[in-house]
Amino acid sequence: MIWAFGFLFSSNSPEDWGFYAHSLINQQAVYSLPPEMIGFYKPHIQFITEKAVNPDRRRYAVVGEAEKHYIDLDHYGDSALFILPKYWFEAVEKIPEDSLRQNGIGPWSAYLTMISLTKAFEQKNSQAILRLSADLGHYLGDLNVPLHTTKNYNGQLTGQEGIHGFWESRIPELMAKDYSLWVGKAEYIEKPQLAIWDAVENAHNQVDSVFRIERELTQNFPEDQKFSYEERNGLTVRVYSRDFTEAYALELDNQIERQMKRSIKMIADFWYTAWINAGQPDLSLLDQAEVEEEKLTPDPGLKVREHL
C-alpha cells in the first residue's frame, strides 16, 4: 500500500480507511492531460480518484495481486538492477516464476497494465479505460516509494516497525496540503518499460536515507515526544507526533513531495503514451456510462504484507 492515508498502529485493516495520497496523486495526474484526453477523464475524476485504492483492496481478495505492488531488489544482491531482465517474458526464462512472484513483480506488472490500458483505448472501452487508468496510477505510485523496493519494507529487519505507514501515510496526511504538485503537461514515453525501471532505481537509491534519518532522529526524541495519540472514527490510535513527522520530513529534504510529483508526472505520461500508442482515439465519442463497482470478498487465507 503506497502513498496510503492510513492510521498508524490501529487495529483496523487498511481497507477500512481512506487512502489520501494515492487518491491525490491520481487526481493531480488528470490535470496534466491534453485537451483531447482531459475532456474524458475530468468528468470521471471522482472515479479515478476514489478507485486509486482498489488495487490495495484487491490484495486481500485476489490471488496474485499482492506481488504486483513491490519488488525486493535487495533479494537479488547489489547488482539487482543490472542482472534482472527488464521484460517479463525474459525474466521468467531466467528466474522461476514462483521465485519472482515471491519477491515482487511490480515493474513487470505495471508495464503489462499499461499494455492492457492501450488495448482498452484501441477497443474504445470506456469502463476498462477508467478502471485500468486508476489501477496503473496505483502501481506506478507504489514503485516510486523507496519502501516498495526492499525486503525491509516496514523496518521489521532493523527495529523500525511502522516506518512504511509513517513515510507514505502520516507525512502526506499532515503535509501534502502545502505541497506544490503541478508537474506540467504529459509527455510521450518512448520506452515505458525502461522508464519504470528508472523510477524503481531512483526510489531504491533513497532507501538508505529513509532508515538512517529515522534512526538518527529517534535518538534525539524521547518516546513520549516521538509518538502521540489521536481520535480517529471513535478510536484512540497511536501515531507519530507532528513534531517528529515535521523533523523527519525536513531532514529528508522534501523527499516525499518529490516522489509524489514523480508519481504524478509518470502516471500522466503513461496514460498519454497508452492513448498515443492506441492511435489517439476520439474519447469524446465514448460511452459515459457509470463503471460497474468491483465486488471484492476478502480471503483470510491470503498472505499479505502488512505495513501500518
Quick check: 16 pLDDT over 60? Answer: no
Question: pTM here?
Answer: 0.92
pLDDT score at 125: 96
For 215-249, what is each residue's pLDDT tens digit?
999 999 999 999 999 998 889 999 999 999 999 99
Q: How confident is the model at residue 5 (pLDDT cuts 50, 70, 90)?
A: very low
Domain positions in the chain: 14-285
Quick check: 257 pLDDT over 80? Answer: yes
pLDDT score at 307: 61
Topology classification of domain 14-285: P1 Nuclease (1.10.575)
For 286-302, what is each residue's pLDDT tens digit?
987 678 888 888 888 88
pLDDT score at 308: 57
Instruction: Tell me, letter by letter, the H, E, C secondary structure of the chain.
Output: CCCCCCCCCCCCCHHHCCCHHHHHHHHHHHCCCCHHHHHHHHHHHHHHHHHHHHHHHHCCCCCCCHHHHCCCHHHHCCCHHHHCCCCHHHHHHHCCHHHHHHCCCHHHHHHHHHHHHHHHHHCCCHHHHHHHHHHHHHHHHHHCCHHHCCCCCCCCCCCCCCHHHHHHHHHHHHHHHHCCCCCCCCCCCCCHHHHHHHHHHHHHCCHHHHHHHHHHHHCCCCHHHHEEEEEECCEEEEEECHHHHHHHHHHCCCHHHHHHHHHHHHHHHHHHHHHHHCCCCCHHHCCCCCCCCCCCCCCCCCCCCCCC
Average pLDDT value for residue range 121-142: 97
